[in-house]
Structure 1
Amino acid sequence: MLSCRFGGGSGFRLELEDNEDLVVVRSVRRGARHDVSPLSSPSRTAQDRLTPLFGFPEAGVGVYAAPVGDAPNIAVVLNEDPEVEFAGRGLRDQFGAPVVYTENVFVKFRDDLSDSECAAVLAEAGLTVKRTAGSAPNAYFAGAPTGIGREVFPLAERLLDRDDVDLCHPELVREVSRKGMFPQQWHLGPAVVKGVEVVAHANVVEAWADSRGDGIVLCVIDDGMDVAHPEFASPGKLVAPRSVSRPRGDDPRPGDGDNHGTACAGVACADGVDKASGVAPGARFMPVRLVSGLGSQDEADAFVWATDHGADVISCSWGPADGNWWDPTDPVHNQVVPLPDNTRLAIEYAVTRGRGGKGCVITWAAGNGAESVDNDGYASYPKVIAVAACNDQGRQSRYSDHGTAIWCSFPSNNGSPSRTPGIWTTDRHGREGYNLGDESLGDAAGDYTNSFGGTSSACPGVAGVAALILAANPGLRWDEVKDLLRASADRIDDNSHEYDENGHSNRYGFGRVNAAAAVRLAVSKLPLSVSVAGN
């Protein structure tokens, strides 16, 4: 049994076990799809007995399901192939979820240690600093000796047991679930779709009379974004584009099959110059590409980059894998995924250091498993805004997660039956993306899709509303924005049992976001001198 602790010595203990139905393969080639490589004939025969589950192409890693008991034998064959750097049995946590470890460690020392003292401890442990974490003082992302394998777990535990170490755990990565489901933008205001009037909107169009998000920087962290799209082409629109995953640099464009981020960005802040407007069309756009595994150091780096480069709002439509929403017996519904310390500190950095100390507003997709969001350490973290999805009839979308952490809801698709196909938004430019150029799926050119959805779409919708709020009153702290969303939300599906004495529903949070009411409330909180000057 292997284990590590998140949150320090007395924090949450994650336990991991060997599993003979999983094989983890690392190719010598980086950047290619993890299940495509020029393997020898015996290796290909062995790999054909495996079922791909997920992978991390930038690291050349794939995770596969094996026939029970066959994993060790298959791993032996694959390890003999010169194209394979490593093949071995996989690990599952105590909830049954596959988890991949790396030979890297996140370490946070006590704040009072000097750089030289930290370096000495790391060197004594055989660790080499790869980079400072940037999210907190004395925080490091360090590499263990190559080939250490699972000994990285006891190494991290020994460090954490030291009095001068606050936090320490191996870098553990999981499958990332993009929270999307599959042209009138009925979510923004009243619309008629296929002859049917739809009024279950977030009152965004009315809010535009007072705020369009001008001057606010809205960051979308996702699988890559088509920054050449016409809806992101206004002067000064793009701010500090970045890829925190390999290949790292200032190019956030998506790779093959990575369609999610462009659609999310369109919901949040598309210019509205052609066929789709974001909730905050006047906001500037910071695209940050992240395709690394859940829990990676790259994930934490994304929040530090956004904070250090001026993000006001950060939208995250991703998280742990969901159970099948239509199958209440799916065991994935009961998995608990903790928020790793490296990412938690990076989020803390954003809400304490961002916006000159007023804090970045962070929205998070609640998830699409029709399960408890409270098992998701990311969306349920108290300093983010967990966003659920509601449908075109003002009810809960069938897949949307529920729980005490849900803060608010935003219109999205329903998962059928529905009067609307989904949310109309930007798609990858041309014949890539969700719409390959079929007018029934969006527009004939393939620049827009009509069927985006899930809490993936709801989350950037609320991020856009946060941008409208901050443009109307830039002096608000992150928690004040969160409270304004609560105070101005519309209670939907209201009945005697839906909302508790505090006005909270486990399905809708405090209700469906009302952008116009939120902006008006933000303006009312301006200092009197500012309000008078503005008049």
Structure 2
Amino acid sequence: MPSNNPLRRRSFLKSTAALSLLGMSGVVSAKPGRNPGPKKDEILVGVSKNRDTKKAVAQHVPGNAEIVHENKELSYAAVKFPSHASTRARENFISAVTKGDDIKYAERNTTHSTLYTANDPKLGSQYAPQQVNANDAWDTTLGSSDVTVAVVDQGVKYDHPDLSARFGSNTGYDFVDDDSDPMPDVLSDEFHGTHVAGIAAGTTDNNEGVGGISNSTLLSGRALSESGRGSTSDIADAIQWAADQGADVVNLSLGGGGYTQTMKNAVSYATTNGTAVIAAAGNDSSGSVSYPAAYSEAIAVSALDPDETLASYSNYGSKLDLAAPGTNVLSCWTTSTQYKEISGTSMATPVVSGVAALALSEYSLSPADLRQHLKNTAVNVGLPSNKQGAGRVDAANAVNTSPSPPGNGDSKETTRSGSLSSRSDSDGSTYSWAYSSPSQVVLELSGPSSADFDLYASEGTGTPPTTRSFDHRSWTTNSQEQIVIDNPDSSAALGILVDSYSGSGDYTLTITEKK
């Protein structure tokens, strides 16, 4: 699997800064006339990695539709129907195309939105950095420019007095307008990305405005338009691109599109390539975490009021990882006001991203280890776990506490090898626990680049899962898969299935159990 060494990734980012403005690795530019923002008339079709994406999809496209976009790295194509086409026409296409041998999925190009709640501006001091004890963390480090936080959001006003020092020559990419300048189009309307960037990394100790949580390098992936809305494809492309640029953290202060395989693949791609994905739990006051925060690889963040109670607007649920201040958070603004307070899980998320960047300034951590470290060092504020996760993120603890693996640090690694001969061939097996109550188990599959292998797991059954009945699945368009299970059910052996969606060859399965 790709290295998770932050030093290697950061060196790569610096060395490619000038070149990255010329193109997007693995992404084919949109056709002229492709509208920015939501793309409700499009269907995203995922194709097995070892196939020609466009060719595999084209044979199924009806005469009134066309392929308008392709992401080769994530192996999907966007098929656009005319706006007057009926819902049934799109549903018929989804039904027909998914019968193709090389087609992995087809789904609507759903719309995601910013997750903030507007408030009247207040002339108050910042409280968020103090609440997460950033002041104490700053005695150790203000953060390092070698750590990069990518803000996938609206564009960022990168010449803001409190942000300009945080950007290098590569300010980012605009996936809405398909150009190399992520500056907001309409400053008075497009403030969200700038506010988010200021929370995570507004320059601290510069006698200017506010202090962000960390002095990390910023990268802007503009994937939401001035309306605050954007398509799954634009956001997924931006996540993949940010990972390819060597970003250490991707901040996703957005949601509302539901589960999509395209977004899941993008989040999986980022974490597999060493980029931590931190996402907002949602602003619906719902008892379930929204996507993309709800994906197993993402770090899901709820919002707290200044008194550390759960904000009335914040989503919560079993998939929550951490909580952070999100109400009336002061940060950078795009107009002459320059600074303003707004609220939302959108604001809580970059607090966690900033703390993550501080931790990465001190320690070399993979995304999984970073997630665990932030949870281990979080502070219990007296809320149930479905409202605060492991607790309120704490910068001082994250910086001044040496990272430790889950549990007591003991781990057992087992490697298994196998071979699949053809499409739909599979290997089912079970894994007997080394520890009576493991805190975490990580399954990592590495298969041939010419095939598309998938990984499944089931808990508490003692039998292998099937492709239709499972508890966990990693189902990207290639053969590099990972499943992380926290506090697994060890009452029976863990069931594992390696399945060939297409192709053949040898694979290696690594099972790491942590006590």
Provide the TM-score with structure 2 as the length reference: 0.64
Match of 1:479 among 365, 368, 371: 368
1:208 is the counterpart of 2:138: yes
Using the TM superposition, give the Cα deviation of residue 390 of structure 1 relative to its aligned residue in structure 2, in angstroms: 1.6
Return the alpha-carbon distance in structure 1 between the equivalents of residues 185 and 216 of structure 2: 22
Return the alpha-carbon distance in structure 1 between the equivalents of residues 288 and 147 of structure 2: 29
Return the alpha-carbon distance in structure 1 between the equivalents of residues 174 and 57 of structure 2: 31
Using the TM superposition, give the Cα deviation of residue 397 of structure 1 relative to its aligned residue in structure 2, in angstroms: 2.0
Q: Within 5 A, what are the aligned runs for 1:64-213?
A: 101-102=40-41, 104-113=42-51, 115=52, 119=55, 121-126=57-62, 128-136=66-74, 138-143=75-80, 148-150=85-87, 151-171=89-109, 173-174=110-111, 176-182=113-119, 183-189=124-130, 201-213=131-143
Change (3 A) 1:152 1:394: closer
- Residue 26 of structure 1 corresponds to none
Change (3 A) 1:412 1:338: closer
1:447 is the counterpart of 2:362: no
**Residue deviations 1:122-167 (CA, integer Å, cap 9, x gap):** 235346443332443x432344578655423211211112232111
**What SS does the corresponding residue of 1:277 show, helix, strand or coil?**
coil
**What SS does the corresponding residue of 1:305 show, helix, strand or coil?**
helix
Return the alpha-carbon distance in structure 2 between the equivalents of residues 492 and 176 of structure 1: 29
Return the alpha-carbon distance in structure 1 between the equivalents of residues 237 and 194 of structure 2: 21
**Residue deviations 1:290-309 (CA, integer Å, cap 9, x gap):** 22545431121111221122
Return the alpha-carbon distance in structure 2 between the equivalents of residues 349 and 412 of structure 1: 28
Provide the TM-score with structure 1 as the length reference: 0.62
Match of 1:244 among 157, 160, 175: 175
**Residue deviations 1:34-77 (CA, integer Å, cap 9, x gap):** xxxxxxxxxxxxxxxxxxxxxxx846x8xxxxxxxxxxxxxxxx
Q: Does the 8 Å contact 2:202/2:210 carry over to 1?
A: yes
1:427 is the counterpart of 2:358: no
Q: Does the 8 Å contact 2:373/2:403 carry over to 1?
A: no
Using the TM superposition, give the Cα deviation of residue 510 of structure 1 relative to its aligned residue in structure 2, in angstroms: 1.0
Using the TM superposition, give the Cα deviation of residue 466 of structure 1 relative to its aligned residue in structure 2, in angstroms: 0.7
Q: Does the 8 Å contact 1:368/1:400 carry over to 2?
A: yes
Return the alpha-carbon distance in structure 2 between the equivalents of residues 109 and 265 of structure 1: 34
**What SS does the corresponding residue of 1:266 show, helix, strand or coil?**
helix
Q: Name the aligned partner's letter for residue 349 of structure 1.
A: Y
Aligned CA RMSD, in angstroms, stands at 2.7
Q: Name the aligned partner's letter for residue 243 of structure 2.
A: T
Using the TM superposition, give the Cα deviation of residue 467 of structure 1 relative to its aligned residue in structure 2, in angstroms: 0.6
Unaligned segments of structure 2, at least 5 residues: 1-32, 406-515
- Residue 287 of structure 2 corresponds to 372
Match of 1:279 among 194, 213, 224: 213
Q: Does the 8 Å contact 1:204/1:514 carry over to 2?
A: yes
- Residue 393 of structure 2 corresponds to 513
Q: Name the aligned partner's letter for residue 405 of structure 1.
A: K
- Residue 158 of structure 2 corresponds to 227
Return the alpha-carbon distance in structure 1 between the equivalents of residues 56 and 102 of structure 2: 12
1:350 is the counterpart of 2:280: no
Q: Does the 8 Å contact 1:314/1:362 carry over to 2?
A: yes
**What SS does the corresponding residue of 1:480 show, helix, strand or coil?**
helix
Using the TM superposition, give the Cα deviation of residue 219 of structure 1 relative to its aligned residue in structure 2, in angstroms: 0.9
Return the alpha-carbon distance in structure 2 between the equivalents of residues 317 and 295 of structure 1: 14
1:260 is the counterpart of 2:192: yes
Using the TM superposition, give the Cα deviation of residue 380 of structure 1 relative to its aligned residue in structure 2, in angstroms: 1.3
Change (3 A) 1:164 1:523: closer
Q: Does the 8 Å contact 1:211/1:469 carry over to 2?
A: no
Return the alpha-carbon distance in structure 1 between the equivalents of residues 112 and 377 of structure 2: 36
Change (3 A) 1:247 1:202: same
Change (3 A) 1:163 1:318: same
Return the alpha-carbon distance in structure 2 between the equivalents of residues 109 and 400 of structure 1: 36
Using the TM superposition, give the Cα deviation of residue 207 of structure 1 relative to its aligned residue in structure 2, in angstroms: 1.0
**What SS does the corresponding residue of 2:347 show, helix, strand or coil?**
helix
Using the TM superposition, give the Cα deviation of residue 236 of structure 1 relative to its aligned residue in structure 2, in angstroms: 5.0
**Residue deviations 1:497-529 (CA, integer Å, cap 9, x gap):** x54xxxxx111111111111112234678xxxx
Q: Name the aligned partner's letter for residue 221 of structure 1.
A: V
**What SS does the corresponding residue of 1:386 show, helix, strand or coil?**
strand
Q: Which has the higher helix share?
A: 1
Return the alpha-carbon distance in structure 2 between the equivalents of residues 248 and 152 of structure 1: 30
**Residue deviations 1:148-206 (CA, integer Å, cap 9, x gap):** 554232112111122321112242x33624334424222212xxxxxxxxxxx101111
**What SS does the corresponding residue of 1:507 show, helix, strand or coil?**
helix
Return the alpha-carbon distance in structure 2 between the equivalents of residues 236 and 120 of structure 1: 40
Q: Name the aligned partner's letter for residue 326 of structure 2.
A: S
Q: Name the aligned partner's letter for residue 161 of structure 1.
A: K
Change (3 A) 1:465 1:383: same
Return the alpha-carbon distance in structure 2 between the equivalents of residues 237 and 249 of structure 1: 14
Deviant stretches of 4+, over 6 Å:
none
1:218 is the counterpart of 2:149: yes
**What SS does the corresponding residue of 1:234 show, helix, strand or coil?**
helix
**What SS does the corresponding residue of 1:220 show, helix, strand or coil?**
strand
Q: Does the 8 Å contact 2:156/2:222 carry over to 1?
A: yes
Who wins on radius of gyration, i.e. which is larger?
1
Q: Within 5 A, what are the aligned runs for 1:5-20?
A: none
Residues matched between the structures, number: 360
